[in-house]
Amino acid sequence: MWEYTEKVMEHFLNPRNVGEVENPDGVAEVGSIACGDALKLSFKLDENKRIKEAKFKTFGCASAIASSSALTELIKGMTLEEAMKVSNQDIAAYLGGLPQEKMHCSVMGKEALERAIENYQGAPAKETGAQIVCECFGVTDREIERAIRENNLTTVEEVTNYTKAGGGCGNCHDAIRQIIERVRAEAKPAVRPKLTTIQKIRMIEEALEREIRPSLKHDGGDIELIDVVGNRVLVATRGACAVCKASDITLKHFVEAKLRDLVSPDLIIEEVAP
Amino acid sequence: MKIVYLDNNATTQVAPEVLEAMLPYFHDLYGNPSSMHSFGGQVAQKLREAREQVATLIGASPDEIIFTSCGTESDNAAIRSALATHPERRHIVTSRVEHPAIKSLCANLAGQGYRVTELPVDKNGLLDMEQLESSLTPDTAVVSLMWANNETGVIFPVEKAAALAHERGIPFHTDAVQSTGKIPINVKKSAIDMLSISGHKLHAPKGIGVLYVRKGTKFSPFLIGGHQEKGRRGGTENTPSIIGLGKACELAARRMEAENTAVKRLRDKLETALLDGIPQSRVNGDLFQRLPNTTNISFEFVEGEAILLLMNEYGICASSGSACTSGSLQPSHVLRAMGVPFTMAHGSIRFSLSTYNNEEEIDFVIEKLPPIIERLRGMSPYWTSVAQACVSA
């Protein structure tokens, strides 16, 4: 059984503002029945352009209903500018927190709010140019990027908890991993101090131990650092990696990308015979 | 608050008679049955009795019964034994709707290079026997099919399936965790080689299981250790639980027919009343090839976890095949294999009864559930549009 806070249960059992606003100023529907949750949000403004009334209709679990209820309570009385700043964490915090696996309910609330405001402003949907990454749940790269940025996510599992992306067949896990690396690389300061070889070796060993080996070992593989020559990182693969046909893909796309991210963007991985 | 427990496929209450039979073996008669003193030896005598009681329930002989720690262990032991004793074969046949104890194990074995065929089911959750037949090859090391499905209660014709495997010299295993004690089982009259049982599904405690292995079937132990269970499963016997399971099997053998008429009548009453009282609801799984205690009903356009938590407010316990209850984001693999539409799968509730349920409890659920569904549909954006579509049409 999920451990819901009292506040979540209270909002689930006595949801506020259920229904649809008559003649709404803004309205949006996000999610889908295939995905297991959906939210229709509508609001009306007063003469001072503050949100006078906000209502929801939700198909979903207790935390989806509680998140929708919390959202409508949060935004009442806000200007649209203020409402735009409401984040998914604000919704979760209002409820005293949500289980990690249910954070996507708060993200759904935030999305509905943004779309409803865009609907009022007559703005074109911001998602133009966005690519679907997760086919199972129809999640785009934009949505994933934003969830990573706003919630400081670092693993595929976390991205799944917040956006559902990757929670179905699992075919998009590599794509999500690449988005995480890309977004986190952007967040890093561009200029880095020049590293000595000793520093590099130390940082590479640490990155291998902390970030890389656990994933490889999960599949029965391992990696060993042989030498560092300038920016060339010479490694040998062990265990399942040593006989795996896809190991150079792993080295390029996973190990090298991680080391570039964590140590230095100029590093080049090279495999040597053990 | 009074609890109305309709989740007996998840676990059951330990029968009072079972508890009573077990208690002396915790404090007074705690000896080790392997010991060379009569203090321990008297426990060994009691274990022999329990082994006979279990064997009688399924039509086996006592030396074909191996006690394990749970159904999952029995399943693992069976499959791994079949693979170990047929090392030249690399193919496993199973179904898409198995319990995770088999499903995850097979997925794991697929990762180690075994070829796994997961047979599909039709919209009622039934197997296509021709498809089973055509999937069997000289390379097939084992066929494992569940006797009855834990989510829908749908019964597979495992005896026929076992005969097909047997003709080709392929070992046949069945996960009979849900069917044991609920429907008659007679392994002697079938070609089943191995069969798994779990104690806590038939009013014995958790932490005790059985693997039946037909005499003459090659067996390679899963847990290697002492000489217990004739070397087929090491580890000191869980004496109180084995004795409890023996008692539970004796009770089941004695009561099965009478209980099933009574339990089935309550199940049918609940099912009919809910289908009549709640529009856009339907049963998942074949109505006839089904355990007498289980009904899996979908309420369209509402989500299962929300239903469960509202029922919980009244002390009503059941399960759901919705995504949210599993944390996996996808609804139940069983309902998906049956092609149940998403609008239905997310709103599925499994009620599983036992002999300890009564009329009053069923009436209580029949009274409380329709308003719960109505309330959630009142919040659902889909229900409005469907309701409007119905009015305008």
pLDDT of A186: 82
Answer left, alpha or beta for residue B8, where phi above 0 means left and psi between -120 and 50 means alpha. alpha
Active site residues of B: 324
Span of A30-34, A181-185, B350-354 with lowest mean pLDDT = A30-34
Burial B345-384 (b: 16+ CB within 10 A, else e): bbbbbbbbbbbebeeebbebbbebbbebbebbbebbbbbb
Residue ranges of domains in chain A: 6-121, 132-187, 197-271
Rounded to an integer, what distance in angstroms lies between the CA atom of residue A12 and that of residue A40? Answer: 16
Amino acid (1-letter code) at residue B124: N
B322–A36: do the CB atoms touch at under 8 Å?
A: yes
CB B139 within 8 A of CB B90: yes
pLDDT of A58: 95
Q: Which of A126-140, B291-305, B313-327 has the highest mean pLDDT?
A: B291-305
CB A162 within 8 A of CB A184: no
Answer left, alpha or beta for residue A129, where phi above 0 means left and psi between -120 and 50 means alpha. left
CB B289 within 8 A of CB B154: yes
Q: Which of A141-150, A240-249, B349-358 has the highest mean pLDDT?
A: B349-358
Rounded to an integer, what distance in angstroms lies between the CA atom of residue B31 and that of residue B39? Answer: 6
Using a 10 angstrom Cβ sphere, with 0-12 exposed, 13-18 middle and 19 or more buried, the burial of residue B2 is exposed
A18–B305: do the CB atoms touch at under 8 Å?
A: no
Span of A8-22, B107-121, B279-293, B379-393 with lowest mean pLDDT = B379-393
The residues near B73 (Cβ < 8 Å, ≥ 6 apart) are B209, B211, B222, B223
Question: Has residue A127 got a pLDDT over 60?
Answer: no
Rounded to an integer, what distance in angstroms lies between the CA atom of residue A28 and that of residue A120? Answer: 10
pLDDT confidence band for A273 (50 / 70 / 90): confident
CB B244 within 8 A of CB B14: yes
pLDDT confidence band for B331 (50 / 70 / 90): confident
- What 8-state DSSP symbol labels residue A250? I
Q: Residues of A near B (CB-CB distance < 8 A)?
A: 2, 9, 12-13, 15, 18, 20, 29, 33-40, 57-65, 101-102, 136-137, 160, 164, 167-168
A160–B343: do the CB atoms touch at under 8 Å?
A: no
pLDDT of A126: 53
- The answer to whether A35 is a known catalytic residue is yes
B327–A101: do the CB atoms touch at under 8 Å?
A: yes
CATH superfamily of B4-10+256-392: Aspartate Aminotransferase, domain 1 (3.90.1150.10)
Rounded to an integer, what distance in angstroms lies between the CA atom of residue B29 and that of residue B40? Answer: 8
Rounded to an integer, what distance in angstroms lies between the CA atom of residue B240 and that of residue B237? Answer: 9
CATH superfamily of A132-187: BFD-like [2Fe-2S]-binding domain (1.10.10.1100)
Interface test with B, best of A22, A33, A173 (most B CBs within 10 A): A33
Nearest CA in chain B to A20: B381
| CATH number for the segment(s) A197-271 | 3.30.300.130
* DSSP E strand boundaries for chain A: 26-32, 37-45, 51-59, 132-134, 139-140, 221-229, 232-239, 268-271
Interface test with B, best of A8, A10, A35, A59 (most B CBs within 10 A): A59
Rounded to an integer, what distance in angstroms lies between the CA atom of residue B146 and that of residue B172? Answer: 11
Return the number of other C-beta atoms located less than 10 Å from residue A118's C-beta: 16
Q: Where are the alpha helices (DSSP H) in chain B?
A: 16-22, 24-27, 38-58, 71-85, 100-111, 129-135, 158-167, 239-277, 304-312, 323-326, 333-337, 342-345, 359-379, 381-392
- What 8-state DSSP symbol labels residue B36? S
CB A119 within 8 A of CB A28: yes
pTM of the model as a whole: 0.81
Helix (H, G, I), strand (E, B) or coil at B283: strand
| CATH number for the segment(s) A6-121 | 3.90.1010.10
Question: Has residue A274 got a pLDDT over 80?
Answer: no
User: Is the CB of residue B52 less than 8 Å away from at least one CB of chain A?
Assistant: no
B303–A60: do the CB atoms touch at under 8 Å?
A: yes
User: Is the CB of residue B307 less than 8 Å away from at least one CB of chain A?
Assistant: no
Length of chain B: 393
pLDDT confidence band for A222 (50 / 70 / 90): confident
Task: Provide φ and ψ at B113, rounded to 5°.
Answer: 105, 0
CB contacts < 8 A (A, B): 76
Averaged pLDDT score across all residues of chain A: 88
User: Is the CB of residue B328 less than 8 Å away from at least one CB of chain A?
Assistant: yes
pLDDT confidence band for A214 (50 / 70 / 90): confident
Q: Which pair of tokens denotes residue B305?
A: 């976890």
Averaged pLDDT score across all residues of chain B: 95
Using a 10 angstrom Cβ sphere, with 0-12 exposed, 13-18 middle and 19 or more buried, the burial of residue B195 is buried
DSSP secondary structure letters along B79-142: HHHHHHH-TT--EEEEETT--HHHHHHHHHHHHTT-EEEEE-B-TTS-B-HHHHHHH--TTEEE
Q: What is the pLDDT of residues B63-85, one digit of tens each?
A: 999 999 999 999 999 999 999 99
pLDDT of A5: 95
Residues in A touching B280 (Cβ below 8 Å): none
CB A250 within 8 A of CB A244: yes
Return the number of other C-beta atoms located less than 10 Å from residue A60's C-beta: 32
Q: Which of B123, B131, B136, B152 is nearest to B89 (CA)?
A: B136
B368/chain A closest Cα distance in angstroms: 15
- The answer to whether A105 is a known catalytic residue is yes
pLDDT of B188: 95
Question: Has residue A96 got a pLDDT over 60?
Answer: yes
First to last CA, chain B: 45
Residue ranges of domains in chain B: 4-10+256-392, 16-252
Interface ipTM > 0.95? no
pLDDT of B338: 96
Among A2, A38, A62, whose Cβ lies nearest the Cβ of B381? A38
User: Is the CB of residue B306 less than 8 Å away from at least one CB of chain A?
Assistant: yes
Q: What is the pLDDT of residues A27-86, one digit of tens each?
A: 999 988 777 889 999 999 999 999 999 999 999 999 999 999 999 999 999 999 999 999
Residues in B touching A63 (Cβ below 8 Å): 324
B382–A38: do the CB atoms touch at under 8 Å?
A: yes
pLDDT confidence band for A193 (50 / 70 / 90): low
A36–B309: do the CB atoms touch at under 8 Å?
A: no
Question: Has residue A264 got a pLDDT over 60?
Answer: yes
User: Is the CB of residue B107 less than 8 Å away from at least one CB of chain A?
Assistant: no
Q: Which of A18, A205, A245, B201 is nearest to A213 (CA)?
A: A205
pLDDT confidence band for B196 (50 / 70 / 90): very high
User: Is the CB of residue B108 less than 8 Å away from at least one CB of chain A?
Assistant: no
Rounded to an integer, what distance in angstroms lies between the CA atom of residue A231 and that of residue A203? Answer: 13
Amino acid (1-letter code) at residue B283: V
Interface test with A, best of B7, B312, B320, B324 (most A CBs within 10 A): B324
Rounded to an integer, what distance in angstroms lies between the CA atom of residue B264 and that of residue B336? Answer: 26
CB B109 within 8 A of CB B46: no
User: Is the CB of residue B343 less than 8 Å away from at least one CB of chain A?
Assistant: yes
Question: Has residue B325 got a pLDDT over 70?
Answer: no
Nearest CA in chain B to A105: B324
| CATH number for the segment(s) B16-252 | 3.40.640.10
Our measurement of the distance from residue A194's CA atom to the centroid of its chain's CA atoms, rounded to an integer in Å, reads 32
Length of chain A: 274
pLDDT of B393: 46
